[in-house]
Amino acid sequence: MNVRFFTFGRYHGKDNIPGSTHIRVNQLLKYWPEAGLYKYGENPDALIFQKVYVTPDYKFPLHFEGIKILDICDPDWLDDAAIVETCNAMDAVVTPTEAIASFIRQFHNNVVVIPDRFDLETIPEPKEHTNPAEYVAWFGYAHNSILLKPAMPVLEDLHLKLILVADDDPIPDKWGNRRREDFYTFVKYNESTIYQELQKADFVVLPEGARPIDIYKSNNKTIKANLAGLPVARNADDVHLYMDARERKKWLDSNYEIICKEYDVRKSVEQYKQLINQVSNR
């Protein structure tokens, strides 16, 4: 079956947009020969709209006659996207989280959770933990780094140094007492080197968020850190726990193989194939 992904980046004419398109489309294509990126004028058997919605000036999702699947990677209805109208035109809707799926099930009866998963072949061997923690890492879009603010006093009290990997430098020294160059190192985010950058730290700090959007967020950053061999600290108790190399190794020994099995991107390909077969056999 001929399958195409119509991506957020392609629709907006910005094919270099990273993030969800890389995670939920580009990685899958490596293991799915029948799938590819949509080109205008094509007529595939199935078309997956990745964050592409009906608008007053854009009705293509309504008129495409093949199998239509919407991949809602983020809670776009919070930004006034035409979620209901777009979903009504679809044969199925895919989401990365159960929280998004629960919302969409209010007006669509075929919603499947396909988590964010990763290409294990691109990931180095997990970090070995032998010494007390000295470095921690945070990574993501700079505007989300505000979630780090409550963690700063704890990191400073323990004399931990921060490796901050983001699209832009969010200047976290505004939240601490140390001089900027002494407290943290900023690294420009690059998908091809992210695992190596994370492994320079002993563990990753990703505090829980309390914004309306946060309950819908994917766990992809947690999983990416875990695949690098790093546990994730959510709160002060976690930070204190993972100062000890033995605790980090204990976490790794108990969880790493399970995470690799569950978050292999090839599992997402199989889920999509099953969904398309289910829709086509109705």
Give the domain CATH number at 201: 3.40.50.2000
Helix or strand run (H / E) with residue 91? none
Pair (137, 112) in one structural domain: no
147 and 237 co-located in one domain: yes
Q: Is there a single domain that holds both residue 14 and residue 34?
A: yes
The rounded distance, in Å, linking the Cα atoms of 199 and 206 is 15
Counted domains in the chain: 2
Containing structural domain, residue 145? 121-262
159 and 134 within one domain: yes
Residues 232, 126 share a domain: yes
pLDDT in tens, the chain (282 residues): 899 999 988 887 765 555 788 999 999 999 999 999 999 889 999 999 999 999 888 889 888 999 999 999 888 777 667 889 999 999 999 999 999 999 999 999 999 999 999 999 999 999 999 999 999 999 998 888 888 988 999 999 999 999 999 988 887 666 655 555 568 889 999 999 999 999 999 999 999 887 888 899 999 999 999 999 999 999 999 999 999 999 999 999 999 999 999 999 999 999 999 999 999 987
Q: Same domain, yes or no, for 276 and 204?
A: no
The CA-atom distances, in angstroms, between 216 and each of 58, 96, 147 are 26, 9, 15
Predicted local distance difference test score (pLDDT) of residue 218: 93
Task: Give every CB contact of residue 232 below 8 A, 6+ residues apart in sequence.
Answer: 203, 204, 205, 206, 222, 225, 226, 238
Residues 97 and 69 in one domain: yes
pLDDT confidence of residue 69: 98
* Same domain for 205 and 246: yes
Estimate the crossing angle of helix 220-227 against helix 245-262, to 10 degrees.
Answer: 110
Q: Does residue 201 sit in the same domain as residue 155?
A: yes
- Alpha-helical runs (H) found in 94-172: 98-104, 152-157
pLDDT value for 210: 78
Same domain, 109 and 186: no
Instruction: Give 61's contacts (C-beta < 8 A, 6+ positions apart).
Output: 49, 52, 53, 54, 68, 70, 86, 89, 90
- Give the Cα separation of 229 and 254 in Å (integer): 11
Kindly state whether residues 95 and 7 are assigned to the same domain: yes
What are the backbone dihedrals phi and psi of residue 7, each rounded to the nearest 5 degrees, phi first? Answer: -90, 160
Residue 111 sits in the same domain as residue 146: no
